[in-house]
C-alpha cells in the first residue's frame, strides 16, 4: 500500500523578487498561487506577505489574514505564515518580543494551525557571494524568542513547523518541546541547500544523518524535506521510502526558476507517486497530527 506523503507548497519567500522573479507579491497573486498549489496537490501552503511599495517582507497579521482567508475560501488547506528573519535585511530587526505577534493574532481568529518556529541561529552566506566578499548575516533566534514562540503555540494549540538548518536545531527543538507539554507536536522540516553555506547538501547520506538524530531525540516525529535555493529531486524517492514528507515551490527552488508554483507542485506530486507514495489529503495530515502525543515530539 502506498505511503501517504504530505506535500507543502512554499510559494514565495523572504527576498521578494530579487532571487525569484516569479514569486507572488500582491495579495491577490499570493491567493491565486496558494489556491493553484493546493489544487495541484499541496495539503499545506506556506507564505510570506510584503510591503508592496518596497517588495520587502512585512509581518502584518492583517495582510496574512487576507491571504489566508482568500486561499481557504476556495480550498481546504493548512495555510501558515513565516516570522521576521532577525539579523537580515529582508524583514528588519526585531529585538525583544514581537516576532510572534502576528501568529498570535491569527491564532486568536482561528486562521492558523501551524506556525514557523526555528529553534536555533546560524550564518547565512551564499556560495556564489563568498568570492565577492559577501558577509552574509547571522539568522538569530535567541532563546527568549524561541520560548516566546512556544508559549504562543502552547497557548493557542498551533503546531510549530521547525526549520532545521543545522542538526543542533533538532536537539534544541526536541529538548525545549518537552518543557512545553501543552504545545502541539512540532513538524521537523529538514533544510537543505545548494545555494547557502549552512546545513547539509541534498544527499541521501545527509537525510540519513538527520533521521538518525531524530530517532534519538524525537522518535516518530513528523519529518519533511525542504530547503532554499535547492533542487530536491534526488531526495524525493529516499524520503518517500522512509515516510518523510516533502516541500516544494518557488521559495525552495533554485534561484531563477522559470516555472510557477502550480507546475512545481505538480512535478513534485509526480515524483512522489513515481517513488511509491501518494499525496495525503489535508484531512489525513490533520488526523495524523491529532493522533500524536502532544508535547513529546512523537
How is 61-103 classified by DSSP, letter by letter?
A: HHHHHHHHHHHHTTS--EEEE----TTSSSS----SS-TTHHH
The pTM assigned to this predicted structure is 0.95
Angstrom distance (rounded) from CA 195 to CA 29: 26
What is the fold, at CATH topology level, of the domain defined by 3-291?
TIM Barrel (3.20.20)
Angstrom distance (rounded) from CA 240 to CA 285: 15
Give me the tens of pLDDT residue by residue for the chain, a chain 298 residues long: 578 999 999 999 988 788 999 999 999 999 999 999 999 999 999 999 998 888 888 889 999 999 999 999 999 999 999 998 876 666 554 545 588 999 999 999 999 999 999 999 999 999 999 999 999 999 999 999 999 999 999 999 999 999 999 999 999 999 999 999 999 999 999 999 999 999 999 999 999 999 999 999 999 899 999 999 999 999 999 999 999 999 999 999 999 999 999 999 999 999 999 999 999 999 999 999 999 854 444 4
| 224 Rama class: left (phi>0) / alpha (psi -120 to 50) / beta | beta
Amino acid at each position: 500500500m502506498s505511503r501517504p506523503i504530505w506535500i507543502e507548497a512554499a510559494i514565495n519567500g523572504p527576498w521578494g523578487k530579487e532571487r525569484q522573479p516569479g514569486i507572488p507579491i500582491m495579495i491577490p497573486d499570493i491567493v491565486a498561487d496558494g489556491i493553484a498549489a493546493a489544487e495541484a496537490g499541496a495539503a499545506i501552503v506556506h507564505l510570506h506577505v510584503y510591503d508592496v511599495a518596497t517588495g520587502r517582507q512585512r509581518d502584518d497579521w492583517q495582510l496574512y489574514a487576507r491571504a489566508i482567508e482568500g486561499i481557504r475560501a476556495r480550498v481546504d488547506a493548512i495555510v501558515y505564515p513565516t516570522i521576521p528573519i532577525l539579523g537580515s535585511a529582508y524583514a528588519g530587526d526585531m529585538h525583544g518580543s514581537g516576532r510572534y505577534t502576528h501568529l498570535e493574532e491569527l491564532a486568536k481568529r482561528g486562521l492558523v494551525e501551524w506556525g514557523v518556529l526555528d529553534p536555533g541561529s546560524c550564518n547565512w552566506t551564499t556560495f556564489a557571494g563568498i568570492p565577492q566578499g559577501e558577509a552574509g548575516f547571522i539568522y538569530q533566534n535567541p532563546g527568549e524568542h524561541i520560548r516566546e514562540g512556544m508559549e504562543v503555540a502552547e497557548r493557542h494549540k498551533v503546531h510549530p513547523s521547525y526549520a532545521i538548518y543545522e542538526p543542533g536545531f533538532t536537539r534544541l527543538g526536541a529538548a525545549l518541546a518537552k518543557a512545553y507539554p501543552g504545545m502541539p507536536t512540532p513538524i521537523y522540516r529538514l533544510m537543505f541547500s545548494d545555494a547557502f553555506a549552512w546545513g547539509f547538501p541534498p544527499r541521501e547520506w545527509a537525510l540519513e544523518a538527520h533521521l538518525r538524530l531524530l530517532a534519538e531525540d524525537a522518535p516518530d516525529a513528523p519529518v519533511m524535506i525542504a530547503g532554499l535555493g535547492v533542487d530536491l529531486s534526488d531526495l524525493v524517492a529516499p524520503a518517500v521510502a522512509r515516510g518523510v514528507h516533502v516541500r516544494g515551490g518557488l521559495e525552495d527552488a533554485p534561484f531563477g526558476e522559470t516555472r510557477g508554483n502550480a507546475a512545481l507542485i505538480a512535478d513534485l506530486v509526480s515524483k512522489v507517486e513515481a517513488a511509491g507514495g501518494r499525496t495525503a489529503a489535508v484531512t489525513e495530515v490533520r488526523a495524523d497530527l491529532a493522533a500524536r502525543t502532544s508535547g513529546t515530539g512523537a
